[in-house]
Amino acid sequence: MMMANQKDKEQKSKEEKQPEEIRGVKTQDLQGEKAKRHEKELTDEMLKKEQERAHKHGLEPAESIEKPEEASTFVRGELPHFAGINTFLKAPFLEDINQVGEHEVAVIGCPLDTGTTYRPGPRFGPEGMRRISGLYTPYYYELGIDLREQLDIVDVGDIFITPANIEKAFDQITKAVEYVRGQGVFPVILGGDHSIGFPTARGIMNAFGRKIGIIHFDRHIDTQRKDLDERMHTTPFYWAAHEKHFDMGNLVQIGIGGWQVPRPGVEEGRKQGSLVITVEDMERLGIEKTAEMALETAWSNGAEGVYLSFDIDSIDPGFCPATGWPEPGGLYPREALALVKRFANEGLLGMEIVEVSPPFDVSDITSLMGVRLICDVLAAQVVAGKLGRTRAGEPQTEKARQTDQRKAA
């Protein structure tokens, strides 16, 4: 005991000896130093419960394991990262969708790529993103957030898709998203090609019942009426704007540009009043001004909620090559991450990541970027008090309070 106390004193002494200022910069103001302080504030209650469940359902480990609390005979938790069932972030799989309302966030796979007009493969996007998400821990260093401790996330699996009939697939998608959002749960949708942007937005609107705005990241404008005589991945926001609770005056499109933008879509955007901010606009305006303009537009005209639709091809293909229509000159990953976090600070109704096509990926980097975008959006909403709990585990929303009360009962 005396040796332990001495070690604690030595550690405390090291913390106190850290320079308060280096070359005119206060060390306590550095993000990295703030992050270390925030980590100390985090609870580990959910980690302990996960370890208890692992022992109960996966057997206690062999006697030779030196830290038995961190292992089980069969994988039933986060570790090891290369093993286990591929749910998103190793979150629990919810078999009974009727229980989704007992949780805060639901990850939904939407494996449709019937709407592609060049390279297929986004039907494997949900599988690819789930698999590489196992590389991540639930802890985000810079923001001092632990999603396992602060947010109740479940993976509800994939929507049953009919690839031979895109309209039936759209109806399935709308029903799924409407049901989840209607339970007060934040839907995270793993696409799939961007044709799903119409039925997902329709599901959000049906559940929300009030006017919404949409923030849309893409290299392509996606506002034409039809493509190849069908409602394809170039058409989602034309059709979303024909629903009751959305029009293009509340559509912000970021990253549009290059040599793959169909003129019919440009014409519709011009007629119906969407706002397009190109990569060059963003470079000139800066991240903050771009975000301010986008938020003001999306939330204008009486909109009471905003949906985020993120096409991975908005990021330069040097970083995200695995997509159906790669177009050079897109956003850098850091720019995209900064923008989505800024939008998430205001709260969102849900989000989707589309056009991730694992068959064309290199070392899973495109799938990993899709996962990172989702994690950053969730973390930013937790920090802003729009979802989940504080670092100490106190609920920040009515949904979080209800979830905690249900678990305690």
Amino acid at 77: G
The whole-angstrom separation of Cα 374 and Cα 37 is 25
Cα separation, 279 vs 100, whole angstroms: 38
List pLDDT tens digits, range 222-266: 999 988 878 889 999 999 999 999 999 999 999 999 999 999 999
Asked: is 89-401 a CATH 3.40.800.10 domain? The reply is: yes
Distance separating alpha carbons of residues 250 and 352, to the nearest angstrom: 18
Q: What is the pLDDT of residues 308-333, one digit of tens each?
A: 999 999 999 999 999 999 999 999 99
Q: Where are the alpha helices (DSSP H) in 164-256?
A: 166-182, 197-208, 236-240
In this prediction, residue 409 has a pLDDT band, given cuts at 50, 70 and 90, of confident
CA atoms within 13 A on the CB side of 180: 35
Q: Which residue has the tokens 């969407």?
A: 274
d(CA 365, CA 37): 31
Question: Across residues 168-172, what is the average pLDDT?
Answer: 98
Q: What is the pLDDT of residues 57-111, one digit of tens each?
A: 999 999 999 999 999 999 999 999 999 999 999 999 999 999 999 999 999 999 9
Instruction: Please state the domain extents for the chain.
Output: 46-84, 89-401
Give 325-377 pLDDT, tens digit per residue.
Answer: 999 999 999 999 999 999 999 999 999 999 999 999 999 999 999 999 999 99
Token duo for residue 146 = 């632990």
Token couple for 88: 């998103």
pTM: predicted TM-score of the whole model, two decimal places: 0.94
Contact 375, 136 (CB under 8 A): yes
Q: Is 13 exposed, middle or buried (0-12, 13-18, 19+ CB in 10 A)?
A: exposed
pLDDT of residue 230: 85
